[in-house]
Structure 1
Amino acid sequence: MSFNPDELEAPKWVNSNFLKEVLQYNGDLKNVTINDFHISPATALGDHFASIMFRAKIKFSTQEHSNRERSIIIKTLPVVDGVKKDMLGKSEVDFFGTEMFMYSNVLSECGKILRKSGYNDLLAPKMIYQSSEPQKTIVFEDLKELGYFMFPKIIPNENDTKLIFSKLGQYHAAAFKLAAEGTKGLNRKGGLFNLGSMEMLNMFRDQLSFFKELVETLPGFEEASEKLSKITLDKVFEKCRQAVNAPGSYEVLNHGDYHIKNMMFKGKNGTDVSEIVLVDFQICHWGSPAYDVVYMSAVIPPNMRSEAYKHYFDTFIDVLKKSDYDGPLPTFEQLQKDLKSYRCLELFFLATFTSFLCADKAQIKDDLDTLFTNSNLFKAFYHQPTYISYVKKLLPALLQDGVLDDVINSD
C-alpha cells in the first residue's frame, strides 16, 4: 500500500506525553504510563485530502493493569507546504471547528435518535480526544480494530447503493429531528462551494478542459461539445454555489462531502458490504438534502439513481416516524423538486470528481497534492472506460433536460 508523503512521518509533538494525555482525556483511564508506541500512516493514497492522519498503536500500563494495548487514529492539520496546507490555511471554512462541533454536539445525539428508531448500527466513530491549542487535533477510536475497512470496489453495486443511501437517510433524519427540537449551531454553510476564493479551486479548471477534450472525441456528442465550449469553470461553479445556498424545500445538516472514501464498511470476507459508518464531518452544510444525494451520485450508475433516491427518502421518513417526531413530514415531491434544481452539480461532478472516483486504486500512484498540481497526471483518469461510460450515459440526459443551456445562460 502506498501512502501520502506528508503522512510518512508524524509531527514531533505526537509523542508519549501526547498519547498519555489522549488516553486520560475522558477520565476512564488514570495514572497512565506509556510503555511503547508505533506510529504509521492511517490512510492510503487518494483516500482523503483535507488533513493528515496517523494510526498509533500504544502499549501502556495503569495502576490496575500492567499490560494494555489500544489503537487510535490521530487527525490534524497538514504541516508540509503544498496545495493541501494552502487550501486549509486560506479557506473561510473552519474544518476542525466544524468536526469538533459535530462529534461533541451532534453525532452522539443522532446516534441516540437512530437507536430509538431501531437503527442500531454505528453512525460514526467515537471521538476520544480533541484540542484546538497548541495544535488542532481530533483523535478517534480505530475503526479498523472494530472490523471496518475501506470500500473494496470501485463502483457500488445495487446492494452497496441501497446501504449507502439508507445510511444517508438515517443521518439526515436524525439531524432533521435535532433541528426541529431546537439544537443550536446546525445552520452551517460549508461544502465544496463555500470554501472561499476561486483561487483555491483552480485545480478544477484543467479537469473541465479534459472533460471538454474527451467529449469532442465522442461520436454523436457534437451538440454537447459545442455547448460545453461556452461553459467556463467560473460559470458552472457559480451556478452550483447559488443552487446549494438557495433555500431548500426542506433542509437538513448535510454531511457536505458524502462520497465513498468518507465511509468505512463491514461485511463478510472484506468484500460483501453489510454495514456502513460515516467519517470526516469537516464541511457540513445546512441546506437541501439534495446536496448530499447528488454528491454521492457522482459514482452511482445513472440507471440505479432513481431507486436509490426513493430508498433514501423512505428511510428518512421511517426514522422520523419511529423517533416520535411530531412535526410536518417532508414529501418525496419536495426532494424531487430540489434534485431538479441541483442538476448543475451533476454536470460539475461529472466533469471533475467522477473521473478520479471511478479510478482503479492501482491507477492512483501519486498523492492528491501532486495530482492537483500536475495536470498531465490527472488527465489519465479521463481515458478510463468506466468513466467514459458514465459520460455517455449521463451527458445526453443533461443536454436533453437543458442543464447545459441553463449554465450557459446563467448570470
Structure 2
Amino acid sequence: MGEVTLDFLQDILKDDFPDVTITNFEGAPGTKRGDNYTSVLYRISLKGTERHSDGTTASDEPWQGSIIYKCLPESALLRDAFKSDELFCNEVAFYNKIWPALSNFQKQWPNLKVPFKAIPKCYLAQSDIVVLKDLKQQGFVMPDRRQGLSIEQSYLVLKNLSHFHALSLAMKCHSPEDFYELVNVKDGISEVFFVSENEEYYKNYYREAARNALEMVEEELQDTENKDKYIDKFRDFCKEDTFFTTMVDLVTPKEPLAVICHGDCWTNNFLFRYADGDIAEMCIVDFQLARYASPALDLIYIMYVCLERQQRAEHLSSLLDYYVEEMHARLLEMSEEGSVFHTSLNRDVLFDMVQQEFRRCGRFGLGVALDMYPIMTCDSTEAPNLYQANDSEACWKPVWTSNEACRRKMTDLIVELVDGDML
C-alpha cells in the first residue's frame, strides 16, 4: 500500500465526492486469511470534511467513507504460481474495456426493464492496482465460504449471471465486430490458467492436488461395494498426460453459445444485501478469471462448487431452467421482432443447448474442485497468508486438508458425475 497518499485518494474520489476533503486514512486487510488467493485486498478507511452550502452560508462537517484497494501479493513465488500479474491484466481489461462496452451496449435498448448493474463501481484499474467502491458501506455481506450458497442465493446469482451472459450473446449478434474486439489478445480478456503453454508448469501442482483428492475419496469409499468403479474413473480423469489438455479443451470457446464468463463463480465472489431478512440485491466481484468460453463453465461452478449434492439433487434442473428462462427473456428485450432469438435460437433451442453444454463441460467442475474444495473447506490457518511476504515453495502448493466436509464433497461429486455418465 506504499503508493497510497492523501493526494491519490483525493484524486480518485473527486468525481463522486467533489465537496469532500480527505484528511486521514488507515488501511486494514479487507478479507480473512483463506478468502482470496491471487491478490491482496485492503479496506482503506477515510476521514475528512464535507463542505455544505445553502446558497448564503457554508460549513464543513465531518465525513467518513472507505474504499477497497486491491493489489498484487508481495510474495514473488505466489504471484508467479497463481499468475497474479496476468490475472490482474485480465481484471484491468474487464473494468477498463469489457464492462464499459457491455454497459454501453445495453443502454441502446430502451425496452430493457431492469438493466444489469450487479458490478461494483471501479475508481481505478491499472497494471498492479484496482480500486473499488466498498460495498460494505451499503450493507453488502459475503457468505461464509464453508457454507456455500443457499438455494435462495443461487436463484438470484443465476438471474444475474443470465443477464450478464445475455449481454455477450446479444452484442455478438447485433454488433459482432465490436464484440470480438473485447476478446482480442492485445488488450481484451484471455484465458490465464488453462492454456497449453502452462501444462508443464502446473504439472506438479495438479499432481499433488489430484493425489490429495484421491486419498480423501479412497478413505470415504473404503467400505463401498462399487468403489473401484468411481476411483478408476477419477484416476483416469487425473492422468498427467490428459488432465491439463482436457481442461484446455473445456475452456476453449465453442460457438454460437460462447460468452464472456465471470470465470470464478465461487461463494466469496458474490455479495448480498439483505432487507428485513430477505435478499434485496447482490453484486458480483473479482473478474480476474474472466474468460470467453461456454456459459456452462460459470453454471458448473455454481452447481458443483457452491452447492451440496442434496441441493443439486433437488434443484439442479429447476435452477438450469430458471437460468435459461431469464436469459432468453433478456435476449428478447435486446432484439427486434423476428430476430434470431425469436426464431432459430428460441427458448427451447437455447435450453437444449445449455443442457448439452452443461453435460459436455461437467468434468470441468471436477477439475476445479481439485483446487477449490480444499480452499473452501480448510481452516484459515491452512491457507497461505497473502498479507505476508513469503517466498517459501510451500506457500504456493495446493491447499492440503482432509477435513470431513472436503472428503464428502469430493466423493459426492465423483459419484454424481460417474453415475450421471459425465465422467
User: Once the 2 structures are TM-superposed, how far is the Cα of residue 137 of structure 1 from its aligned partner?
Assistant: 2.0
Structure 1 unaligned runs (5+)?
A: 1-10, 405-411
Change (3 A) 1:129 1:228: closer
CA distance in 2, matches of 1:349, 1:35: 45
Aligned to 1:7: none
Matched, 1:162 2:161: no
User: Which residue type is aligned with residue 100 of structure 1?
Assistant: Y
The answer to whether 1:140 aligns with 2:129 is no
Aligned match for 2:4, one of 1, 14, 22: 14
Q: Deviations over 1:43-73 (max 9, x none)?
A: 1222222222211121234665633322111
Q: Is residue 2:271 matched to residue 1:264?
A: yes
Quote the residue 2:403 is aligned against: 383
For 2:56, the equivalent position in structure 1 comes to: none
The reply on whether 1:243 has 2:243 as its aligned counterpart is no
SS at match of 2:35: coil
Q: Report the aligned-residue RMSD.
A: 3.3
Give the number of equivalent residue pairs. 383
What amino acid does structure 2 have at the position aligned with 1:205?
Answer: R
Which of 208, 211, 226 is the matching residue for 1:209?
Answer: 211
Q: Hey, what's the Cα distance between the residues in 2 that align with 1:396 and 1:374?
A: 31
Cα drift, residue 348 of structure 1: 1.3
CA deviations 1:342-396 (Å, max 9, x no partner) are: 1221321343323432x27xx222444689936999332x432x34443444323
Q: Is the 8 A contact 1:45 1:367 kept in 2?
A: yes
What is the DSSP-based 3-state SS (H/G/I as helix, E as strand, rest coil) of the residue aligned with 2:18?
A: coil
Separation of aligned partners in 2, 1:205 and 1:237? 11
Structure 2 residue 224 is matched with structure 1 residue 224: no
Tell me: CA distance 1:120–1:354, structure 2 relative to 1, closer, same or farther (3 Å).
same
2:147 corresponds to 1:151? no
Asked if residue 353 in structure 1 is aligned to residue 382 in structure 2, the reply is no
Which AA in structure 1 matches 2:5?
N
Distance change (3 Å), C-alpha of 1:74 and 1:111: farther
Partner SS state of residue 313, structure 1: helix
Given the two structures, how large is their TM-score scaled by the length of structure 2?
0.79
Specify the code of the residue in structure 2 equivalent to 1:125: P
Query: Structure 1 residue 210: deviation in Å?
Result: 1.4
- 1:57 and 1:71 in contact (8 A); partners too: yes
Identity %: 20
Residue identity opposite 2:65 in structure 1: R
Cα gap change, 1:200 to 1:121, in 2 (>3 Å): same
Q: Following TM superposition, by how much is the alpha carbon of 1:201 offset from its aligned partner in structure 2, in angstroms?
A: 6.6
Q: Is the 8 A contact 2:12 2:123 kept in 1?
A: yes
> Partner residue of 2:327?
316
Q: Describe the SS at the equivalent of 2:381.
A: coil
1:98 and 1:283 in contact (8 A); partners too? no
Deviation at 1:398, TM superposition (A): 2.4
Cα 1:387–1:111 shift into 2, 3 Å: farther
Match for residue 100 of structure 2 among 91, 99, 105 = 105
> Match of 1:42?
30
Q: In the alignment, is the contact (CA less than 8 A) between 2:253 and 2:292 conserved in 1?
A: no
Contact 1:249–1:288 (CA under 8 A) maintained in structure 2: no
1:104 deviates by 5.5
Matched, 1:276 2:277: no
Mapped partners of 2:371, 2:204: distance in 1: 12
Distance 1:33 1:118, change over 3 A: same
Post-superposition offset of 1:399:
2.3
Supply the AA of the counterpart residue of 1:41. P
Aligned-partner Cα distance in 2 for 1:47–1:344: 25
Q: Which runs of 5+ in 2 are unaligned?
A: 53-58, 184-188, 387-391
* Residue range with higher mean Cα deviation, 325-334 or 303-312: 325-334
Aligned equivalent of 1:287: 293
Deviations 1:238-279 (A, max 9, x none): 11211220414412111111221111111147x754421111
Question: Does the residue aligned with 2:322 lie in a helix, a strand or coil?
Answer: helix
Q: Do 1:262 and 1:278's aligned partners in 2 also have CA atoms closer than 8 Å? A: yes
Contact 1:193–1:240 at 8 Å: present in 2 too?
Answer: yes
Contact 2:81–2:396, Cα closer than 8 Å, also in 1 = no
Q: Is the 8 A contact 2:140 2:273 kept in 1?
A: yes
